[in-house]
Amino acid sequence: MGEETHAGDEKVTLKRKITLFNGVGIIIGTIIGSGIFISPAGVFLYTGSVAASLIIWLVCGLLSTLGALCYAELGTSIMRSGGDYAYIYAAFGPLPAFLRMWIALLIIRPTTQAIVALTFGHYVVKPFFPECDPPQNAVRLLAAVCLCILTAINCISVRWTMRIQDVFTTSKLLALVVIIISGIYYMCIGHTENFEDAFKGEYSAGQVALAFYSGLFAFGGWNYLNFVTEELQDPYKNLPRAIWIAMPMVTIIYVMANLAYFAVVSKMEMMSNPAVAAIFGDRLFGGWSWMIPVFVALSTFGGVNGVLFTSARLFATGAQEGHMPAFFSLFHIEKQTPIPSLIFTCFFSLLMLTTSNVFALINYFSQTLWLSVGASVVGMLWLRRTRPDMSRPIKVNLAIPFLFLIAIGCLVIIPAITQPIDTAIGLAILLSGIPVYYLCVRWKSKPASYHTFSGCILRFLQNLCSCIYLDSSEKISS
């Protein structure tokens, strides 16, 4: 990390290829990935109550919208790709930003991609095993194939990546519209027995917090457009517009989809099988039930694509600031794709596929994720105080970040009390980044052999991938 960038003087400048429609597609396509097809079981598992689950879904949408509005201010005042990393760097300096990058590299991004890819594998295999759980090795293998194919496409073309995002976003919206209409019709013909004693359940503060983790995981992606602002056309207008179009649409779709699920899928089925959309299809569509797993597979395929696209840009931004190995900032000369960063991101995601327990992965990474999101919003408030003259094309009401931070505090603190082991592991990984930072970033007088070795790696990757350095017009300043 922090290598000298002397391996080549040529640089590539990113073009603004992402339109407003593409931006809405990135937000909706990344949010509606695996979550709405697997998280309903997770939310209900921790509450046992139909009404409480629906309320949690609605509140998750409202919280995500509040967060997205805060990020609209951050994204239009700090015009740099990298999302949370760029904002924490500007507000608090290099060490906190490095720690954010560290947990993104080791926990947040690989785990997110693994969860969505595993859901893809589960739904692809499910039609062949209608009466039992599919073999976990088959699910993991398909997840790995999904990750590798999409990594290759992301390496080849930004335009093709955006086309995949747009097409698969349309397909997943169609699938959810079919589910919602079918569920409403099922209720209208008198099937409302699953809503009896809707508030009945056994749940505590800790259980409700874990239920929120599953719900908010399904909304994960509301801030992903902030990771590619340098490639977004007219970002001052299109970033907030994309948020205002995408977030209400996703919230309404999610609440209505859960209403449809609860009308058709019994409480016992919901708790015993996370593939709720597959059960829904079997119950209502008979011989056409295979369509639901196909649509879900398409949805999650697009979800993996969106996460891969933004992850690579995050690590490239870190490399430009000297916080990641310099090869992360290499972009292809003609295709303008961060090939080394994409390959590395895919590799770490493949490592996460050693487990197929989706809910365990969600609970494991959620605390660190929301801690970093909270740090970004605190950074926004800090920058208002320390840099009041900073250009802010969008300035949200102070009540919005404060409400959002109160919710995040509950999401971080309550599970820390109820599940201390997971919290300790996450904190240990976070704090392990401190010695790495001082050894690899702050230590400038490294031996000559280190620079020789890193220079050889850089030249090898430049020649192998036909890559040169990204020339960013924006720099993060703290």
- Dump pLDDT digits (tens) for 158-180: 777 777 777 777 777 787 888 89
Nearest to 169 by CA among 29, 19, 294: 29
CB 210 within 8 A of CB 363: yes
Type of residue found at 407: A
- Collect the ranges in the chain with pLDDT lower than 50: 2-9, 473-476, 478
Please give the pLDDT value at position 360. Answer: 63
The 3-state DSSP composition of the chain as helix, strand, coil percent (nearest 5) reads: 75, 0, 20
pLDDT (tens digit, 9 = 90+) per residue, 322-378? 887 877 777 777 777 788 888 888 888 888 887 656 666 666 667 778 888 899 999
Please give the pLDDT value at position 475. Answer: 47
Centre a 10 Å sphere on the Cβ of residue 382 and count the other Cβ atoms it contains. 14
Please give the pLDDT value at position 8. Answer: 45
For residue 325, give the 3-state DSSP assignment.
Answer: coil
Which positions ≥6 away from 448 have C-beta within 8 Å?
none
Please give the pLDDT value at position 15. Answer: 62
Nearest to 122 by CA among 330, 353, 287: 353
Please give the pLDDT value at position 405. Answer: 93
Which domains does the chain carry? 11-470 (1.20.1740.10)
Q: What angle do CA 307, 325, 463 make, to 5 degrees?
A: 90
CB 258 within 8 A of CB 39: no
Cα–Cα distance measured from residue 71 to residue 244, given in angstroms and rounded to the nearest whole number = 12
For residue 49, give the 3-state DSSP assignment.
Answer: coil
Please give the pLDDT value at position 274. Answer: 66
C-alpha to C-alpha distances, 283 to 12, 42, 263, nearest whole angstrom: 53, 20, 11
Residue with tokens 């509301």: 222
- Distance, CA of 397 to chain centre: 26
Type of residue found at 61: G
Please give the pLDDT value at position 473. Answer: 46
CB 342 within 8 A of CB 154: yes
